[in-house]
Amino acid sequence: MLRLIVTRLLDAIPTLVMVLILVFVSLRILPGDPAQVALGEQATPDQLNLFREQMGLNAPLWQQFFSFGWNMLSLNFGKSLINGTPVIDLLAQNLPYTIELTLVATLIGLCIGVPMGVFAAVNRNKAPDTGARLYSLIGYAVPDFYLGALLLIVFSLNLGWFPINGGGDGFVDGIYHVLLPAITLAALKSAFLGRLTRTALLEVLGKDYVRTARAKGADENRVIYRHGLRNALLPLTTGLGLSILSTLSGSVPVELVFNRPGIGSLLINSIAQRDYPVIQAGVVMFAFFVVIINLAIDLAYVLVDPRIRVK
Amino acid sequence: MSLSRREFMTKAGVAGAAITIASTVGMPEAMAQDHVLSIALAARAPNGLNPAQTGLTGGDNWAISQIYDCLVNSADGTFGIKPEDFKPEIAESYESSPDAKTWTYKIRKGVKFHKGYGEVTADDVVFTFTRLIDPKVVTASKATYANIASVEAVDPMTVKFTLKLPDPLFNGSIASTLPASILSKKAFTEKGDAYKFDPIGTGPYQVTSVDPTSGVLLEANPDYFGGVAVTKHLKIVFIADTTARTLAFLSGQIDMMEGARTPGWIAGIKQRAAKTIFDETQPGSFNHLMLNLTKKPLDDVRVRQAIRYAIDNSAIAKAYGELATPMVGMIAPQFEGSVKPADLPPELQYKPDVAKAKALLAEAGFPNGLTIQCFNSQREDYAAIMLMVQEQLRAAGITLDMKMIDHATFHDQTAKDLNTIVLNSSSYPPVPTFPLVIQLASNAEVKADGSGGTNFSHYGVAMKGVDDLLTKALAEPDFEKRVATVQDIEKQVLKDLPDMGIITLSYVVARNPRVDLGYPVKSGYAYWPLHKAKYV
């Protein structure tokens, strides 16, 4: 297991280096001058030059790149060009909210999606299956920013059951604030996981060993959950990993509609302001998460499927 | 390492819960909502509360304007547009030399900085302005203060400004501007970088806390020289998304919100909350169309006139309802120096006339119309105005092949002289010469390497401009005479048409009727004092 972890981490190094190069180059190609954004349209050329000098933006590109690479390795992410706040502080302020939203949304998505998928598979081509497929279709089709606004209007504005916006203060208030945005994201997640569960389970339920179990008179619940669902966990694990990654990077519209702090909206704002240090650190952090979550999925495979462990 | 599947599931669940808990503990405790006046602004988080720093958002400006004072200021809810319109603030009196090149301010005695940082002296004023004019210090709006040759303390309570050129409206152009809010020299030196989130001013409110997620919390300054603020606590919340901000306002969670400057927004709010009060600053931003005179066929005045005749400013303004005013020339109709249609000869009134536009195009060699390529910002105000302009031009046979691009890219590409027809939206102080110097002077000409200014039309270089008249206006110490010269410039620009005013667009704040501001908002910058505001 340790060897697997070390190997996977070593494999990730070239990926992270590529990300560093890509993010650096793409930002420099992107039109838009951070000095102009920070100082405004009417800034004098002298002030623009002074700002660039102070922020190291006048140095040759190769020098900027090596300085950036070294800083990333030493976890020195620099300061925001717009407000001078250390980037590490900005990430630390926003990351907990993103993790919180991702975890709660994933949990809700799992709790709805997996049972729904099982129910649909067991009742294939019957009304529950049609209903589940319809739910999945709607989950995929309705944009999260629209669903978020709709839920806000109904449950926060009209019924007053949930807060309108913000991240909440403290644990209980935090959970109270995260529920509605998490439900918004969970709609798509549950649609995805439900469909995945249904497909995987249907495939497994058609296998010889399932038929054998039934022929031996095994209880139907045992057939479905012990022989069926357990063996369908492999694709579900992959799907879960992908779903978590998509939430980490794709929760921006929900963060905006619910005015939640988070890494996604921090990055979008920084891109609009050409705040290079924040964008660079944010993207590298996302890449790091991708590596970690992929590693977690690999480890989960080993735990979920004994055959992989034996190999 | 050996871990069964059941153990894995259990541990994963526990770890997930632990991370969730860790992510939410340690956040600041909620402040009681009682008697906290709140306003939500369109920004993601505070960028700082040092008035002279760069990168401030509109939300930061709101907070700053409550925390600091200037030497003088306009009356609440108005713009000082004439020299006599300004009221003393930190200065108890001021006087100008006859040539309007020397301005002397007497500091009010007993004005205290927040949190025990002592009384304001001439040293603090000199410190504040020295930073603004020091070329080695990056501060906001450097060009605004470029006319100051020197600032010195005559005695501990008197400050003297010496200017390079006369400025009869020095109080409006410099002394009352937000970046010129008076800093505490002692606090600034002591706190260094930390000053921007722990600022010390003299204003009616002082900072209690600044939090990137919950916003800026202020409390009344008990020593405020103008009297203690009526409402003790003030909360400035940052909500970037218009929908989220609107819902927070409609739910009653916040008392005031920065509105959206889009057609139909006010009507939409009124449908849901009919008693909402809308505070609007006239004029707000100036929206100009600048035509690049170095690009064909815009070098032909007949084509420019055709564009002017094809655009119906009043129709565009009408789409915005009470938020917009049609512009006649370069300067907003609410400001001194602007010209009224009635004062102009008929040929400069440009009453919308599609037939005349077509005839002018035909005369210029385009009987079948023409296509002009340009790009525009995706920002909602830019996009809405330009789409209306595009539609009006189409009726006259002018096709705008317009690309919509991200706002920072738009500014970057425009600053490199790559655009043809540029919509420019800027908020200017009520100083008649200000937009002219920035948009029409030949030394502000845009340059291909991006090092130029914001004269995107190349007026004064591609063709004779108004440099002489502008020099005359800037050298004039008498305000009325200066205004008369500015009006001459307006008329010349209407003849040459390198730049055409489209509409002014007000900054708007929706207010819950339970809040009384204590005065009506008529004009002014995009922020106003809240120290007289109270719940009713």
With a CB-CB cutoff of 8 Å, which residues 229-248 of chain A face chain B?
none
Q: Chain B interface, mutation test: which of A85, A106, A267, A276, most B Cβ atoms within 10 Å?
A: A85
Q: Which of B21, B46, B415 sits opposite A171 (nearest CB)?
A: B21
Please indicate whether, in this complex, the C-beta atoms of B55 and A43 are within 8 angstroms of each other.
Answer: no
- CB-based contacts of B504, cutoff 8 Å, min separation 6: B282, B283, B284, B285, B286, B287, B324, B325, B327, B332, B333, B334
Contact (CB, 8 A) for A208 and A202: no
Q: Which residue of B has its CA nearest to A97?
A: B23
Contact A103 B20 (CB under 8 A): yes
Q: What is the per-residue pLDDT for A247? A: 82
Taking the Cβ of residue A152 and every Cβ of chain B, the question of whether any pair is shorter than 8 Å is answered with yes
Place of tokens 């509609």: A257
Q: Report CB contact under 8 Å: B23, A38.
A: no
Q: Do A170 and B27 touch (CB under 8 A)?
A: yes
Closest Cα in chain A to B449? A45
B51 vs A contacts (CB less than 8 Å): none
From chain B, pick out residues whose CB is under 8 angstroms from the CB of A165: 239, 244, 247-248, 253
Amino acid B533: pLDDT:
95
Does A272 contact chain B (CB < 8 Å)?
yes
Look at A264 and B369; give whichever has higher pLDDT: B369
- Which among A2, A43, A256 is the nearest to B241, CB-wise? A256
Tell me if chain B has a CB within 8 Å of the CB of A259: yes
| A5, pLDDT greater than 80 | no
CB pair distance less than 8 Å for B138 and A47:
yes
Question: What residues of A are in contact with residue B8 (Cβ under 8 Å)?
Answer: 300, 303
**CATH of the domain spanning B285-505:** 3.10.105.10
Beta bridge partners of B288: B424, B501
Contact A50 B136 (CB under 8 A): yes
Higher pLDDT, A262 or A8: A262
Residue of A nearest to B438 (CA): A42
pLDDT tens digit sequence for A123-156: 888 998 999 999 999 988 888 888 998 998 899 8
Instruction: Tell me the C-alpha distance between B337 and B440, whole Å.
Output: 15
* Record: contact B24-A170, CB cut-off 8 A: yes
**Chain A residues lying within 8 Å of B378, measured CB to CB:** none
Q: Quick one: CA dihedral B51, B55, B60, B61, positive or negative?
A: positive
Q: What is the pLDDT of residue B462?
A: 96
The model's pLDDT over A170-179, given as tens digits with 9 standing for 90+, comes to 788 888 999 9
| Pairs of CB atoms within 8 A across A/B | 175
- The arithmetic mean of pLDDT across residues A226-239, rounded, is 84
A254 — contact with chain B (CB < 8 Å)?
Answer: no
Q: What distance in Å separates the CA atoms of residue A3 and residue B13, rounded to the nearest whole number?
A: 25
Which candidate from B193, B438, B450 shows the least CB-CB separation from A84? Answer: B193
Residues 185-214 of A with CB under 8 A from B: none
d(CA A136, CA A190): 8
DSSP letter (8 states) at residue B489: H
pLDDT at B171: 96
CA-based nearest distance A272→chain B, Å: 6
Query: What single string gives the DSSP state of each residue in A136-203?
Result: HHHHHHS-HHHHHHHHIIIIIIIS--S-SSS--SHHHHHHHHHHHHHHHHHHHHHHHHHHHHHHHHHH
Closest partner residue to B415 (CB to CB) among A36, A47, A165 is A36
> Least CB-CB distance to A303: which of B8, B47, B413?
B8
Beta bridge partners of B412: none
Name the one residue in this structure whose structure tokens are 């909602």.
B380
Q: Is B98 exposed, middle or buried (0-12, 13-18, 19+ CB in 10 A)?
A: exposed
Peptide bond into B297 cis (omega under 30): yes
Residues of B within 8 A of A1 (CB-CB) are 1
Instruction: From first to last of the 536 residues of chain B, give the pLDDT tens digit.
Output: 444 544 544 444 444 444 333 333 333 333 434 579 999 999 888 999 999 998 888 889 999 999 999 999 999 999 999 999 999 999 999 999 999 999 999 999 999 999 999 999 999 999 999 999 998 898 888 888 999 999 999 999 999 999 999 999 999 999 999 999 999 999 999 999 899 999 999 999 999 999 888 899 999 999 999 999 999 999 999 998 888 899 899 988 899 999 998 888 898 899 889 999 999 998 999 999 999 999 999 999 999 999 999 999 999 999 998 899 999 999 999 999 999 999 999 999 999 999 999 999 999 999 999 999 999 999 888 999 999 999 999 999 999 999 999 888 898 899 899 999 999 998 888 999 999 999 999 999 999 988 888 999 999 999 999 999 999 999 999 999 999 999 999 999 999 999 999 999 999 999 999 999 999 999 999 999 999 999 98
**Contact check, Cβ <8 Å, B247/A152:** yes
Domains, chain A, with CATH or none: 1-80+275-311 (no CATH), 93-265 (1.10.3720.10)
Maximum pairwise Cα distance, chain B: 92
Please state, in angstroms and rounded to a whole number, the distance separating the CA atoms of residues B185 and B121.
10
Distance from CA of B192 to the nearest CA of A (A): 12
Q: Which two tokens stand for residue B207?
A: 């900072």
Query: Greater confidence, A75 or B4?
Result: A75
- Nearest beta carbon to residue A1 from set B1, B143, B213: B1
Distance, in Å, from the CA atom of B172 to the CA atom of B431, rounded to the nearest integer, reads 7
Q: Judge: A168–B44 Cβ closer than 8 Å, yes or no.
A: no
Domain boundaries, chain B: 1-66+203-281+509-536, 69-197, 285-505
SS (H, E, C) B102-136: EEEEEECCCCECHHHCCECCHHHHHHHHHHHHCCC
Q: B1-66+203-281+509-536 in CATH: which number? A: 3.40.190.10
B69-197 CATH: 3.90.76.10
Query: In Å, how far is A226's CA from the nearest CA of chain B?
Result: 13
- Chain B CB within 8 Å of residue A310 CB: no
Helix spans in chain A (H): 2-29, 34-39, 45-54, 61-73, 87-122, 127-141, 144-151, 170-205, 208-215, 220-221, 230-250, 252-257, 263-272, 276-304, 306-310
Q: What b/e sequence results for A186-213 when a residue is b if at least 16 CB atoms lie within 10 Å of its CB, and e otherwise?
A: bbbbbbbbbbbbbbbbbebbeeeebeeb
Instruction: Give the one of A83, A107, A173 whose C-beta lies nearest to B48's C-beta.
Output: A83
Task: Give the pairing of strands B86-88 and B91-96.
Answer: unpaired
Residues of A in Cβ contact (< 8 Å) with B4: 303
Q: Could you say which of A41, A82, A174 has the minimum Cβ distance to residue B47?
A: A82
Contact list in B for residue A303 (CB cut-off 8 A) is 3-5, 8
List CB contacts (< 8 A) between B142 and chain A: 39, 43-44, 46-47
Query: Can you tell me the distance from the alpha carbon of A307 to that of B177, in angstroms, rounded to the nearest whole number?
Result: 73
Query: Across-strand partners of A114?
Result: none
How is A129-149 classified by DSSP, letter by letter? Answer: HHHHHHHHHHHHHS-HHHHHH
Q: Do B55 and A82 touch (CB under 8 A)?
A: yes
Collect all residues of chain A within an 8 Å Cβ-Cβ radius of residue B429.
none
Give the pLDDT band of residue A309 (cuts 50, 70, 90): low
| Mean pLDDT score, A29-39 | 79
Q: Name the minimum distance, in Å, from the CA of B49 to any CA of chain A.
A: 10
Q: Looking at this predicted complex, what is its ipTM?
A: 0.77
Judged by a CB distance cut-off of 8 A, whether residue A217 touches chain B is: no
